[in-house]
Amino acid sequence: MKSLKKLNHKLSSPEGQIEILDDAEAIDIPSFEDKLSDIGLSPLTPTNIEIFQVNVGKMCNQVCSHCHVDAGPDRKEIMTKETMQQCLDAIKGTDIQTVDLTGGAPEMNPHFRWFVEELSALGKHIIVRCNLTIILANPKYSDLPKFFKKHKVNVVSSLPYFTAKRTDAQRGEGVFEKSIKALQMLNEVGYGMEETGLKLDLVYNPAGAFLPGDQLSLETQFKNKLRAYNIEFNNLFTITNLPISRFLEYLVKTEKYEDYMHELVNAFNPAAAEGVMCRNTLSVSWDGYLYDCDFNQMLELKVNAPNHIRDFDLAALTSREIIINQHCYGCTAGAGSSCGGATT
């Protein structure tokens, strides 16, 4: 058995960014690399690059307790139009068909709509990870449902639960009510209706130090409960909370870190490991650097290849070795976890 490898976990605090758990307190669990070796998956390599996930900035109108991006209204990191153009140039003429826009609240980037329009002109499938409340945050965002519809954007929205108490506890007072209103606005223009082709998907993260329940069962519960508000949506994605950023801070403060890591290790699923999202997804940060996934991006673990979008090399990126560490257990526990939900 090997102890956790040294890794600088970044946490938010009133004093700014601090670093803790440099040696992870020598928790006695096997390294993730050894786990992959046992099933013949080490070194971990891409199967293909199908999804281009772009974080266009960390500015957000919310401060969610589980946010691994540590996003909020005070964050100033915003992708420039020049970097967006480099992204467009990189994927133009490639087989990469899906571009996944995230943040923060991606809509708060001043060049967001231009970027969507350019991606739409390239014929790309566009995903926008919308926190819902941004639609009601300011009159200038109120037409977002119609804008999304015009460009056939796949809207993916986080909704912690189908009750106000649990949702507001994780995302702030009044968020549930605003989220319901935003979902109704999306439904009004056709989102979530099978016959329109306008996809509206929801994301569920557990509210504590435990794995999400069965994705299909949760989807059925959410659909039944939200119909009381006349809301329809297509799919529910379950995402496991990874032990980084604000969630790591929560684990440490509540003394649940060690137990949670053991739970993740004990739930390791070889089938989920084969389908981890870093094998078909490339993550681009607000400043143009490239990462194997959104979580590695938050830990500043850049790819083993030319690592800036201006030096984009598809062949090198497709054949790279993926950087792994102990937080990767979160994506391989139980049914697996990705930005598209369970992997098995």
Q: For residue range 198-233, what is the model confidence (pLDDT) as tens digits? A: 999 999 999 889 999 999 999 999 999 999 999 999
Tell whether the model's pLDDT for residue 24 goes beyond 60: no
Contact 314, 94 (CB under 8 A): yes
In-domain check, residue 341: no
| C-beta separation of 107 from 144 below 8 A | yes
Query: Does 252 reside within a domain?
Result: no
pLDDT at 89 over 80: yes
Domain assignment present for 333: no
Instruction: Report the pLDDT value the prediction gives residue 14, as an integer from 0 to 100.
Output: 32
Enter the pTM of the model: 0.92
Residue 320 per-residue DSSP state = P
Residue 133 included in any domain: yes
In a domain, 334, yes or no: no
Domain total in the chain: 1
Question: Has residue 114 been placed in a domain?
Answer: yes
Question: Which DSSP string corresponds to 64-82?
Answer: -TT-TT--BTT---B--HH
Looking at the DSSP bridge assignments, the partners of residue 202 are: 157, 236
Q: How far is CA 299 from CA 49, 95, 98, 341, in A?
A: 21, 28, 24, 21
CATH of the domain at 186: 3.20.20.70
pLDDT in tens, 118-137: 999 999 999 999 999 999 99
Residue 168's pLDDT is 86
Q: Which domain range does residue 217 map to? A: 46-243+279-319
Predicted confidence (pLDDT) at residue 83 exceeds the cutoff of 60: yes
pLDDT higher than threshold 60 for residue 146 = yes
